Amino acid sequence: MKRVDDEVERPNPLIERVIRDDVRAMHAYAVADAGGFVKLDAMENPYALPDDLRASLGERLAALALNRYPSPRADALRARLRDVTRLPAGHDVLLGNGSDELISLVYAAAARDGGSVLSMVPGFAMFELSAKIARLSHVGVPLRDDFSLDRDATVEALRAHRPAVAFIAYPNNPTGNLFDRRHVEDVIDAARATDTLVVIDEAYAAFASDSFVADLARHGNLLVLRTVSKSGLAGARLGYLCGSRGWLAEIDKVRPPYNINVFTQCAVEFALAHHDVLDRQAGQLRAERARLQRSLATLPSITAFPSDANFVLFRVDSARPDAATRVFEGLKRRRVLIKDLSHGHPLCANALRVTVSTPEENAIFLEALASALREILPMNAAS
């Protein structure tokens, strides 16, 4: 009898003729299997909603009309988001299935033949990956050695390539730092002269000491991208693009109808009605971030970098180019999953990224890190 697996495995020459060469050469976005691990690789909030709120949310979800399409523009949820984000008057939000979808939608709306987009490297992988999918070329401007924004190089790249869109993550992932605000402002001004839309990605706003939301009204070429993912609602998949109605109306045209399902609309609206709970959790994580950084600073051969996000980038100081990967593997053996960045951009040589979590999980991580370091470092350094 024929098995389904046999069917799937038979080479199908049509795939080659139909699927673009560059897509066939790509790898799907890799997500590590975290089953059984203390999961500190994806900047999730470790705290759940309190039990009474979960019970009340459960009742609301159960009452949803699953036989109906969701509200296409999610007016109630958008009103709530405008409110909690404190958008300037006359501005609105466009919703996406995570900010990942909104990055693709911005590109889809702006992509012209031969067009380009710009972002910093090392930076958030989707800025470049989604550009490739949209057939836009990607201009990566390297950060300086201290992870600061290279304003002059960025302005030069804007003038040389005149990209349709420039994405700036503020704070940046994976480095965790906020760039100098004046440098970002200079880049927005320079981008105006090159007809470039600047999107400031504030995925980590809940943990950051600065934001460009209040600047939206001052710049005709600025949008701000936010997400609920890092504030305790990663499973809901909701990103929102903040900006003037003129920009949003155009990008809305490439949005798939009903892209935000009924569960997400209901759950996020409910959670935002209790945003004091999420704010308190973010406050706890900011305090834990400071404690984690102090603890990392006491470990031998570790340099931890400043962070305005819910993660910390740190370097394993060693002449061995595989030191961080060995520490990462050592942590995995101890059932702790973080992110190994050492195979990416040269500025992240021997660098690892850990999500800030509860005091208990941070303690497990620190203990596992100390013992993984003892395995790889010379005796005198690790003692």
Euclidean distance between CA atoms 180 and 170, whole angstroms = 10
Which of positions 145-174 make contact with ligand PLP (CB under 6 A)? 169, 173
From the DSSP assignment, how many helices (H) and strands (E) are in the chain?
15, 13
| Binding residue (CB under 6 A) for ligand PLP from 201, 269, 308, 361 | 201
Site residue total, ligand PLP (CB under 6 A): 12
CB-based contact 177:306 (threshold 8 Å)? yes
Is residue 271 a contact point for ligand PLP (CB under 6 A)? no
Q: DSSP secondary-structure letter at 311?
A: E
As measured in angstroms, the least distance from the Cβ of 249 to ligand PLP is 22
- The stretch among 93-101, 128-136, 155-163, 264-272 that binds ligand PLP (CB under 6 A) is 93-101
- CA 290 to centroid of chain Cα atoms: 21
Is residue 43 a contact point for ligand PLP (CB under 6 A)? yes
As measured in angstroms, the least distance from the Cβ of 51 to ligand PLP is 25
Is residue 175 a contact point for ligand PLP (CB under 6 A)? no
Residues across the chain? 383
CB-based contact 301:317 (threshold 8 Å)? yes
Q: Tell me whether residue 219 or residue 230 sits nearer to ligand PLP (CB atom).
A: 230
Euclidean distance between CA atoms 345 and 348, whole angstroms = 5
Is residue 338 a contact point for ligand PLP (CB under 6 A)? no
Q: DSSP secondary-structure letter at 377?
A: S
Beta carbons within 10 angstroms of residue 42's beta carbon: 17
Residue showing tokens 């999980």: 361
Is residue 239 a contact point for ligand PLP (CB under 6 A)? yes
Is residue 104 a contact point for ligand PLP (CB under 6 A)? no
As measured in angstroms, the least distance from the Cβ of 164 to ligand PLP is 19
C-alpha neighbours within 13 Å on the C-beta side of residue 259: 20
- The stretch among 66-74, 98-106, 178-186, 280-288 that binds ligand PLP (CB under 6 A) is 98-106
Q: Verify cis geometry, omega within 30 degrees of 0, for the bond prior to 171.
A: yes
As measured in angstroms, the least distance from the Cβ of 146 to ligand PLP is 19
CB-based contact 365:328 (threshold 8 Å)? no
CB-based contact 243:224 (threshold 8 Å)? yes
Q: Tell me whether residue 201 or residue 308 sits nearer to ligand PLP (CB atom).
A: 201
Residue showing tokens 């790898």: 27
Q: Tell me whether residue 173 or residue 281 sits nearer to ligand PLP (CB atom).
A: 173
- The stretch among 94-102, 242-250, 268-276, 347-355 that binds ligand PLP (CB under 6 A) is 94-102
Q: Verify cis geometry, omega within 30 degrees of 0, for the bond prior to 50.
A: no
Q: Tell me whether residue 173 or residue 362 sits nearer to ligand PLP (CB atom).
A: 173
Q: Tell me whether residue 169 or residue 323 sits nearer to ligand PLP (CB atom).
A: 169
Q: Tell me whether residue 213 or residue 373 sits nearer to ligand PLP (CB atom).
A: 213
Residue numbers of the site for ligand PLP (CB under 6 A)? 43, 98-100, 124, 169, 173, 201, 203, 227, 229, 239
